[in-house]
């Protein structure tokens, strides 16, 4: 799905240009095609060059001027889509069934892209209902003193060593509780912890418990997403003597190993699971099952098997 630039992306692009990075390097850092960077700079630069606030304003004005009347402003269609999103249907499934249900009323037909665009621009609260939609954008401020991926050593990016982890939270019913998941990038070995709430101190203690027994060569770094539950990252880095990095806002695939693992975890704990009803023993059982599942990229060896060779696998 095509994605519009966000203000955060434009600020990042501006900083990288000031640092003298090439368009190709910036594209790689942002996970964008090089032509997209060229087009953004060409279309949204002013007399004083490229400035993020101005670029955002120009893009929004151009988008509003080009929009046709919104189909989802129709109350009937609006309710049709929301009723099915509540059942965890994908936009593609909704659009496909809509053509059948409104077979004699082509004006009611929607494309999956229309539904995705509506969620992105007008109804972000529905993102968490999508299988790969991610959680809603956090609006209560930003994490401070973060080192993002442009500051992460290349040795981590290349998966050349053990001890580099990716971390996230798998949110439970009503966002009241969660699982903290940590996955080692090279082996795919994972450790999971259940937390009763998503407060930053609770999350920090859970991560620390998961990693503190590892020898230093097996806990070199952790890369988190930008969730506010990781606000105490500086305390965590000091207590574990690890380097901590953060993905760019809205870029969950920059911790792809962890994202893939969380998808596997949903087989056992679907969205809407109340983790307060799940025992620590059950969480440990699922952790063992996934760590002992063979992976194609490991030559059909298991993460436990690979990680055990490094001398630590509990």
Task: State the pLDDT at residue 128.
Answer: 77
pLDDT score of 186 more than 70: yes
Helices (H) and strands (E) in the chain, counts: 13, 5
DSSP 3-state of 23? helix
Whole-angstrom Cα distance, residue 5 to residue 52?
10
pTM, entire model: 0.56
Of 246, 256, 243, 242, residue with least CA distance to 226: 246
Task: State the pLDDT at residue 141.
Answer: 45
pLDDT score of 1 more than 90: no
Task: State the pLDDT at residue 284.
Answer: 95
Alpha-carbon dihedral of residues 150, 153, 155, 156, nearest 10 degrees? -70
Task: State the pLDDT at residue 137.
Answer: 41
The answer for residues whose C-beta is within 8 angstroms of residue 52's C-beta and 6 or more apart is 7, 10, 11, 13, 14
Report the run of H or E that residue 221 belongs to, with start and end. strand 221-224
Task: State the pLDDT at residue 66.
Answer: 58
CA 226 from centre of chain? 8
Task: Specify the CATH number for 149-308; select among 3.30.465.10, 3.50.50.60, 3.30.420.10, 3.90.280.10.
Answer: 3.30.420.10
pLDDT score of 19 more than 80: yes
Q: Note the pLDDT tens digit of each residue in 164-178.
A: 999 999 999 888 899
- Mean pLDDT in residue range 201-222: 95
- Sheet containing strand 221-224, strands side by side: 190-195, 178-184, 164-171, 221-224, 243-246
| CA-only gyration radius of the chain, Å | 22
Token pair recorded at residue 259: 């994202």
pLDDT score of 2 more than 70: no
- Mean pLDDT in residue range 194-205: 94
Name the percent of the chain lying above pLDDT 90: 43
Whole-angstrom Cα distance, residue 86 to residue 82?
6
Q: Note the pLDDT tens digit of each residue in 229-243.
A: 999 999 999 999 999
SS (H, E, C) 35-90: HHHHHHHHHCCECCECCHHHHHHHHHHHHHHHCCCCHHHCHHHHHHHHHHHCCCCC
Task: State the pLDDT at residue 138.
Answer: 44
Whole-angstrom Cα distance, residue 88 to residue 107?
25
Name the percent of the chain lying above pLDDT 70: 91
Of 238, 259, 235, residue with least CA distance to 247: 259
Q: Is the torsion defined by CA of 130, 134, 135, 140 positive or negative?
A: negative
pLDDT score of 139 more than 60: no
Task: State the pLDDT at residue 224.
Answer: 94
Task: State the pLDDT at residue 241.
Answer: 93
Q: How far is CA 164 from CA 158, 230, 309, in A?
A: 11, 17, 16
Exposure on the CB side of residue 223, measured as CA atoms within 13 A:
27
Residue 134 binned pLDDT confidence (cut-offs 50, 70, 90): very low
- What is the DSSP-derived secondary structure letter of residue 226? S
Task: State the pLDDT at residue 262.
Answer: 92
Q: Is the torsion defined by CA of 273, 278, 280, 286 positive or negative?
A: negative
Residue 135 binned pLDDT confidence (cut-offs 50, 70, 90): very low
Alpha-carbon dihedral of residues 26, 30, 35, 39, nearest 10 degrees? -90
Give phi and psi for 308, each to the nearest 5: -65, -30
Give phi and psi for 263, each to the nearest 5: -65, -40
Q: Across the chain, what does the average pLDDT equal?
A: 86
Q: Note the pLDDT tens digit of each residue in 38-96.
A: 999 998 988 888 999 999 888 887 776 655 546 777 888 888 988 888 888 888 899 88
């Amino acid at each position: 799905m095509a994605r519009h630039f966000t203000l955060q992306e434009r600020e990042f692009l501006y900083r990288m240009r000031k640092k003298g990075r090439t368009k190709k390097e910036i594209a790689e850092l942002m996970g964008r095609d090089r032509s997209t960077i060229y087009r953004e700079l060409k279309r949204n630069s002013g007399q004083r060059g490229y400035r993020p606030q101005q670029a955002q304003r120009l893009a929004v004005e151009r988008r509003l001027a080009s929009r046709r009347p919104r189909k989802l402003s129709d109350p009937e269609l609006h309710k049709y889509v929301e009723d099915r999103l509540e059942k965890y249907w994908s936009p593609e499934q909704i659009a496909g069934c809509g053509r059948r249900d409104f077979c004699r009323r082509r004006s009611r037909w929607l494309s999956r892209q229309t539904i995705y665009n509506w969620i992105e621009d007008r109804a972000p609260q529905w993102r968490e209902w999508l299988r790969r939609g991610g959680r809603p954008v956090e609006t209560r401020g930003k994490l401070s003193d973060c080192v993002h991926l442009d500051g992460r050593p290349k040795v981590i990016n290349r998966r050349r060593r053990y001890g580099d982890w990716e971390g996230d939270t798998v949110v439970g019913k009503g966002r009241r509780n969660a699982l903290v998941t940590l996955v080692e990038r090279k082996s795919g070995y994972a450790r999971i912890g259940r937390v009763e709430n998503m407060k930053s101190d609770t999350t920090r203690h859970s991560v620390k418990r998961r990693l503190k027994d590892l020898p230093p060569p097996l806990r070199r770094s952790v890369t988190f997403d930008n969730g506010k539950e990781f606000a105490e990252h500086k305390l965590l880095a000091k207590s574990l003597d690890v380097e901590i990095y953060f993905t760019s806002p809205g870029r969950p695939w920059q911790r792809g190993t962890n994202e893939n693992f969380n998808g596997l975890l949903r087989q056992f704990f679907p969205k809407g699971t109340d983790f307060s009803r799940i025992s620590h023993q059950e969480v440990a059982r699922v952790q063992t099952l996934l760590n002992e599942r063979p992976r194609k990229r490991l030559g059909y060896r298991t993460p436990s098997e690979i990680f055990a060779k490094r001398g630590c696998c509990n």
